[in-house]
Amino acid sequence: MGKLGKKARKFAKKNLQSVLRNRRKNKALRESFKRKKGNRQAGENRPSPDQATTTSDQNLEGNIEGNILDGGVYDIFVDNSGSEDDHHLEDEDSESDGFLSEDLSCPYVSEDEMEDELEDENSSSALLGQNRTLRMEIAKQTCILERLKEKDPEFSIFLESRHEERQQSNEENFSSGEDDVNDNDGNIAVENPRSQHYKVLTSSTIDAWCQSVMEQKFSVLPNLLNGFQAACHYGDNDQDVLRYNVIQSRGCFYKILIFMLKEGDGILRRLLGISSGCKRQIIVDMRNVSKWKEVKPLIKSYLRSTLYLLDQMTDNLILAFTLSRLRASLVFFAAFPKLLRRLIKVALHFWGTGEGELSLVSFSIIRDMAIHMSPDCLEYCLKKAYKAFASNCKIVELANLDHIKYLSDSVVELFSLDLEKSYQHVLLSLKQLAMVVQQALKTMKKEILKKIHTWQFIKCVELWAKLICENIKDHDLQPLLYVIVQMITGVVHLFPGVRYFPLRLKCIQLLNKISISSKVFIPTASFILEFLESEEMSTAKMPCGEVFDSSSVLKVPKHLIKSQEVQEECVLSAIEYLSELFHQWSYHISFPELASIPLNRLRKFHDETSDKSFRRVVKQFIDHVDRNVEFIQKKRDEVAFSPKDHGAIDSFLQVESSGTSPTNQKIEKVNRTSLTNQKEEKKKSGGTSPFSQYYTSVLQKSISRKAVLQNKLSSKPEPLNNSERSLVDVSGEALLNSKGKSNKSQWVEGDVANGRHGKTLKKERKRRKIGA
């Protein structure tokens, strides 16, 4: 066999494993289908119901487990098109998959004919009320008749014989071709559910059923659940449902839907005799009771119909209400693992894509399942929640930043429920992310760098950093801490220069947060100062008139690299994150040594830059750091212990650094305290670190600057005039509306779509050189 070509090798490397995995799964499904078909043909070899129940009980917890710790689940940066958890979520059990066997004596009241006649004769509404009262009386008499049949078996046999004779006479009349139809026989319940004769559910019928169920006459419940199933399929062309029941109108649809969603959980609990605070173990233990076998099809029909309703609805309020009612019945899902997996899938979908109350209710269901269900369900929820979060972070814009933050906080809360069980999931995900960074550092291939330079990768790293920061004080997470710090540092080294400074800023911010939470020194000053020492910062600024926000991008557009807005953002962000780093260690005994090298580099930038605003900001920062150095050196001269006394070193300025000083308390309230109160607090905190006071002012300026930036971004742009040209970047990264202003950026007009952008750029460059 010859050597494979380049395309074949590329396909084998990327997609061959997923194709083979899909084939193996499909083969297993085909074999299982053949086995089921063979079992149906050989009925005598089928196990007894008791044996089948025992087997299903043993596999109840195992069905949801799957490959919980499969590495491919957390490798979200490869092709996972053949996910094994997204197929065949329907229950394979035959119980209550379709039509429930109904009570033949339950009334199907037909009101079409009577109401039409009354409407034609312009009858008053009083007659309609009397008509409905008569129907209710008929329903009550029917229930009394049922009780008589239970008390007197002979009377029941007599009624059944009369019923069979009347049905045979109706069939004979129909086959003989007679045209007269007896309307009184039209409401007789059909014994064969596969019959083509369907029943129309009217408002009176639903009222009679609802009243009977509320009076704890549960013989009507199968009819009501069949009607609820028909209502959930209302509007679609499901012939399997239409052959049984047909909803008469929208009023009937809303009536049975609202009743079952409000009262369904209470009805099923009263039927089983359990309280509203029933736990999962009670349902698990009840499966061996004979009463459970009678109620199980009813519960399953209610849950399946409600889940189907969620797939059909689009209104957020109705979806939130339906999910809230399913949350009340969450304990019943313990007996149906596949329905539980289906509910997890639906809840995760609405949690990730929904808004407001819908997303909150969906996450409440996921959290309750993780807490109250089996440990396997917790691991399944963790795996699926992380996968859903990663899929919703592929595109990040200003409009969805808050929603992504909410999703991140939700995942952190979910993984923090039981860190002992979620630890392996976090470690596995971090290893998968670290492997991508390690491979990029070795090969420096563009394909691998593109995987890292994505919002999905960065948001996943931010997720685990947030989880570590919130739990490292109470748990031993040092292995996770080491992995994530090494990985973030590698990402910073992969993308140097001002072009990628938004990405580097996010990494530096994560490292500072991890350092503050873990109280471990992480040297980020060298990464920050690289912004100020780059070649782009030494060139003259060019105002472009655009609003630049580093929080919503990972890379600076080429035409903005030398702009005034980007250079200002670099300097101010560098001072902000240096202040955050120095403030953390402003009370440490080694602060003078920590600040020596950054101060020398900042003084060099201050001497070389020609921008007065930059010189003023940097000079102010240098002066405050020098003051804090003098403050620490003065305190060091007063101590009597040696550098080898680690216990005394740790207690150095412990009172001031613990947050009890007025300055540190003021920093925590920087978002709420007014400027007047802050000036008064500054006067009271003269004995604390001078740098803490400066850090407070830096935070204030940063908050106000971001607020002004958000206002500019939220304001609608003015419509363009005919004289304004719309220029498109050749790299396809940005759109600039230049109002007749010439600049040195590489922009062309319209030639990108025609494929002539290369020649156009060359001509434009030559023209500019000649003009210069």
Please report which confidence band the pLDDT of residue 99 belongs to, taking 50, 70 and 90 as the band edges: low
pLDDT, greater one: 490 or 205: 490
Q: Which residue has the tokens 């950026």?
A: 745
pLDDT of residue 562: 82
Query: What distance in Å separates the CA atoms of residue 266 and residue 283, rounded to the nearest whole number?
Result: 15
Q: What are phi and psi of 728, to 5 degrees?
A: -115, 130
3-state class percentages of the chain: helix first, strand second, coil last, to nearest 5: 70, 0, 30
pLDDT, greater one: 28 or 58: 28
- Reading the block at residue 497, the tokens are 């220069």
pLDDT of residue 49: 39
The residue-averaged pLDDT of 310-328 equals 91
The residue-averaged pLDDT of 307-332 equals 91
What are the distances in angstroms from CA 728 to CA 548, 567, 758? 17, 23, 13
pLDDT of residue 696: 79
Question: What mean pLDDT value characterizes the chain?
Answer: 73
The residue-averaged pLDDT of 442-464 equals 94
Query: 64-78, 235-249, 308-322: which has the minimum mean pLDDT?
Result: 64-78
**pLDDT tens-digit readout, 685-703:** 344 566 777 887 787 787 8
Strands 747-748 and 725-729: antiparallel
The residue-averaged pLDDT of 748-762 equals 38
Q: Which helix (H) or strand (E) covers residue 748, if one does?
A: strand 747-748
pLDDT of residue 204: 83
**pLDDT tens-digit readout, 593-623:** 999 999 999 999 999 888 888 899 999 999 9
Do the Cβ atoms of 723 and 604 come closer than 8 Å?
no
Strands 245-247 and 199-201: parallel
Strands 735-738 and 747-748: unpaired
What are the distances in angstroms from CA 355 to CA 389, 444, 501? 15, 40, 32
Which string of DSSP letters, residue by residue, matches 289-324? SHHHHHHHHHHHHHHHHHHHHHHH---HHHHHHHHH
Query: What distance in Å separates the CA atoms of residue 521 and residue 690, rounded to the nearest whole number?
Result: 21
Query: What distance in Å separates the CA atoms of residue 351 and residue 414, rounded to the nearest whole number?
Result: 13
Please report which confidence band the pLDDT of residue 674 belongs to, taking 50, 70 and 90 as the band edges: very low
Please report which confidence band the pLDDT of residue 121 belongs to, taking 50, 70 and 90 as the band edges: very low
What pTM does this model have? 0.69
Cα atoms in the Cβ-side hemisphere of radius 13 Å centred on 253: 12
The residue-averaged pLDDT of 218-228 equals 86
Please report which confidence band the pLDDT of residue 500 belongs to, taking 50, 70 and 90 as the band edges: very high
Do the Cβ atoms of 479 and 434 come closer than 8 Å?
no
CB atoms near residue 285 (< 10 Å): 10
Please report which confidence band the pLDDT of residue 314 belongs to, taking 50, 70 and 90 as the band edges: confident
pLDDT, greater one: 459 or 74: 459
- Reading the block at residue 178, the tokens are 């007679």
Which string of DSSP letters, residue by residue, matches 463-520? HHHHHHHHHTTTS--HHHHHHHHHHHHHHHHHS-SGGGHHHHHHHHHHHHHHHHHHT-
**pLDDT tens-digit readout, 466-479:** 999 999 999 999 99
Query: 334-338, 553-557, 682-686: which has the minimum mean pLDDT?
Result: 682-686
CB atoms near residue 343 (< 10 Å): 24
pLDDT of residue 151: 73
- Reading the block at residue 701, the tokens are 């300026």
Looking at the predicted structure, is the pLDDT value of residue 661 above 60? no
Longest dimension (CA), the chain: 117
Query: What distance in Å separates the CA atoms of residue 322 and residue 354, rounded to the nearest whole number?
Result: 14
**pLDDT tens-digit readout, 514-543:** 999 999 999 999 999 988 888 877 776 676
The residue-averaged pLDDT of 261-270 equals 90
Candidate ranges 592-606, 652-666, 735-749; pick with highest mean pLDDT? 592-606
Looking at the predicted structure, is the pLDDT value of residue 450 above 80? yes
Candidate ranges 166-175, 197-206, 277-286, 505-514; pick with highest mean pLDDT? 505-514
Looking at the predicted structure, is the pLDDT value of residue 675 above 60? no
Nearest to 423 by CA among 473, 367, 471: 471
Q: Which helix (H) or strand (E) covers residue 738, if one does?
A: strand 735-738
Looking at the predicted structure, is the pLDDT value of residue 463 above 90? yes
CB atoms near residue 16 (< 10 Å): 12
Instruction: Tell me what percent of the residues of the chain surpass a pLDDT of 70.
Output: 62
pLDDT of residue 167: 61
Q: Which residue has the tokens 């996910």?
A: 83
Query: What distance in Å separates the CA atoms of residue 369 and residue 378, rounded to the nearest whole number?
Result: 7
**pLDDT tens-digit readout, 224-255:** 888 888 888 877 665 555 555 667 678 888 88
pLDDT, greater one: 646 or 269: 269
CB atoms near residue 726 (< 10 Å): 12
Nearest to 530 by CA among 500, 553, 510: 500
Which string of DSSP letters, residue by residue, matches 71-134? HHHH-TTS---S-TTSS--S----TTSSPPPPPTTS-----HHHHHHHHHTT--HHHHHHHHHH
Instruction: Tell me what percent of the residues of the chain surpass a pLDDT of 90.
Output: 30
Length of the chain: 772
pLDDT of residue 657: 60
Query: What distance in Å separates the CA atoms of residue 80 and residue 15, rounded to the nearest whole number?
Result: 9
